[in-house]
Amino acid sequence: MPLITPSQVVLDLSAADSHAATRRLAETLVESGRTTDVEAFLDDVRAREEVMATGLPGGIGIPHARSAAITEPSLVFGRATRGIDWGAKDGPATLIFLIAAPEGGGEAHMQVLPKLAKALMDQSFRSALEAATTEAEVVALVEERVSLDEPKQGTPQPVASAAPPAVESSDSTQSSEPTHSSDEGAADEASSGGASATTAGEGSHSLHLVAVTSCPTGIAHTYMAAEALRTAAEEAGHTITVETQGSAGSTPLSRSEIQRADAVIFAHDLEVKDKGRFAGLPTVDVGVKKGVSDAPELVERAVTLAGQWAADPQRAAAAAAATDLADGTGDEDPEVSTATRVRQWLMTGVSYMIPFVAAGGILIALSFMLAQIAMGEKGAIEITQYSLTAEGDLNIANSFSPLSLTSWAALFFVIGGAAFGFLVPILSGYIAYAIADRPGLVPGIVSGWIASTMGAGFLGGLATGFIAGFVARWVAGWKVHAGVRGVMPVVVIPLLSTLITAGLFITALGRPITWLMDSLTAGLEGMGGGSALLLGALLGGMMGFDLGGPVNKVAYTFGTTGLTVAGTATDAIQLKIMAAVMAGGMVAPLALALATTVRPRLFSEPERENGRAAWLLGASFISEGAIPFAAADPVRVMASSVVGSAITGALVMAGGVTLRAPHGGVWVLPLMGNFLMFVVALAVGVVVMAAIVIALKTMGSRAAQPEGDPQRVAA
């Protein structure tokens, strides 16, 4: 069955937004019998769009998904003369390809993607699509450039790079030579290809580059970036081999390909698999979209770096000693600000810490619940006497009885307390890891344990994490003798970075940070009345401000890291802060779900569909469920969200609700102290926000009515 038919071409695509346009294109698949459930397919496409917008520079949109509702690999083309916003920075899309791939049809759609990527990089192909006057003409243009290969018997033979073979194209795309599956074959190619490379470009020095591309779903941007890099390298007179880490997996570049490479380009939104393979190579590291939009610039940067490294061999030696350490020897994306990098480093530490918080907090909460059942009102206090080092029956390792509820409560408490003991070391260790990769783990974790032992809490963990990361990164960048390089990662870097970081903290930084932490804790514990309400309102408002963005993350980090101070206490102020943070983060998606239910005509069809999903997302404390609404109408949604979330946060603090779990939403209600007040506070905030959203949208709708567009997005 052909990929595209005349019925799958819409030459006069007109829609209010990308969601409506996608629906119009997807409906053609119903007519051609290629989908069993168009709504399920649209849900899959929408889920992909929420990960990352699929608009590309040059007026292109490529919505796509692999879906169980698709029966045949299919392309649908739409041409929007007026353009439709598809998330690209340079403006709306006029040429839209909807890619529909069967969930289990990996090989087929992996053939399509590299070919479509290559075609869309060709201005003549885009111009021909813009000039086409009939559906049949579009089909002919597409089939000429993009088609499925017939299944071949026996061992597949290499083919030209313009039409990659079914298996090879899923793994690597090259500029002028086929990828070999073995190191020996690649070595042969290196001996001959390397010689030819030096004569390419009319006598100019030609380099051999390698690259890795990946995007969140590995369906389109991965291959678009690969093709853009291939074309850019070829036009610059260089060769390139690209490893596409796509949705169907990837076959890594061979060792010999990497060894003969002059530089590497990472255009990725996912972590590069086995990044250490490229140690010692000058590196350009950017997001996958820059691989699509700025490929010539990336190739130029890689060539410049290769020249600099060739002139200074010690740079390669230092990078090789640090394995895959991000020590500044690469060429990092200049568009990423220092503030953004600091936030990324911090959030890496927090993300690794949260599972320890969840495990420890929930176990301790369950322990207190069981202890109160087994031992009465003071059970939650008495159970804290149990440990692995206590004498007599209080040593749970010696006295555990499967038939005793008290024993189970003590077991949960001891295990939960052990998990809590790792919070600061893990926070510190993985901040250092984010900065310096693996060399940062040892100094970060060891120094974090020291900070915790000295009572410096999460502030100490933050300090040791950043210090350990930068010290390890600095030591790893030393230019050392070749005989020392082998022991740098396993001996020298961890030894010196741990000694410097831990020694500095113990002798100079530990006591003032501990004093600061004690002062902060005392200040929080002394809060009451208006000050507690104000703190709750502030944290709730921050959670509702940007719905998963930097401000939201600051409030959430404050709540979760505060749990490290609360420890095993039963009524610490930090537990109330965590409850206020969670409640504030649940308001926006629940309120918008309510608003779309009460006044559906104020919202577009995609928003109403998002509203149905937002019930579950909000109940599960996933603030991002409100992002589609905020993106479409930021002023009204964010303003109402801040108000509703602030009210909820203040009420939770006033009601003395406590929470140990860092996540979970309504699913951890039984673990809360005074959970009924939590429900009341949440309901009040949801109703208030929904009412404000409805009022603001109603006024906006009336104001826009004379222009004939009641759904006009607020400026």
- Cβ atoms of 574 and 565 within 8 Å: the answer is yes
User: Cα(299)–Cα(286) distance, rounded to whole angstroms?
Assistant: 12
- Cβ atoms of 421 and 388 within 8 Å: the answer is no
- Whether 64 sits among the annotated catalytic residues: the reply is yes
Residue listed under structure tokens 């629906």: 23
Candidates 109, 180, 215, 268; catalytic one: 215
Q: Phi and psi dihedrals of 161, rounded to 5?
A: -65, -20
Candidates 64, 109, 268, 663; catalytic one: 64
Residue 33 class from Cβ within 10 Å (0-12 exposed, 13-18 middle, 19+ buried)? Answer: exposed
Beta strand spans in 253-306 (E): 263-268, 283-286
According to DSSP, the β-strands at 55-56 and 60-61 are: antiparallel
Return all residues near 179 (Cβ < 8 A) that are at least 6 apart. Answer: 168, 171, 172, 186, 241, 251, 253, 254, 257
Listed residue (353, 548, 384) closest to 462, CA to CA: 353
User: Cα(556)–Cα(551) distance, rounded to whole angstroms?
Assistant: 9
State both tokens at 538.
């502030």
State both tokens at 50.
């929420």
- Cβ atoms of 388 and 361 within 8 Å: the answer is no
C-alpha torsion 401→403→404→405, nearest 10: 130
User: Cα(420)–Cα(354) distance, rounded to whole angstroms?
Assistant: 10
Return all residues near 491 (Cβ < 8 A) that are at least 6 apart. Answer: none
State both tokens at 323.
């394995």
Residue 150: count of CB within 10 angstroms of its CB: 6
Helices (H) and strands (E) in the chain, counts: 28, 12
Q: Identify residue 194 by its one-letter amino acid code.
A: G
CA distances from 159 to 150, 166, 169, 224, 585 (A): 14, 10, 10, 20, 54
**Ranges of H-type helices in 103-134:** 106-120, 123-131
Q: Could you give the residue numbers annotated as active site?
A: 64, 215
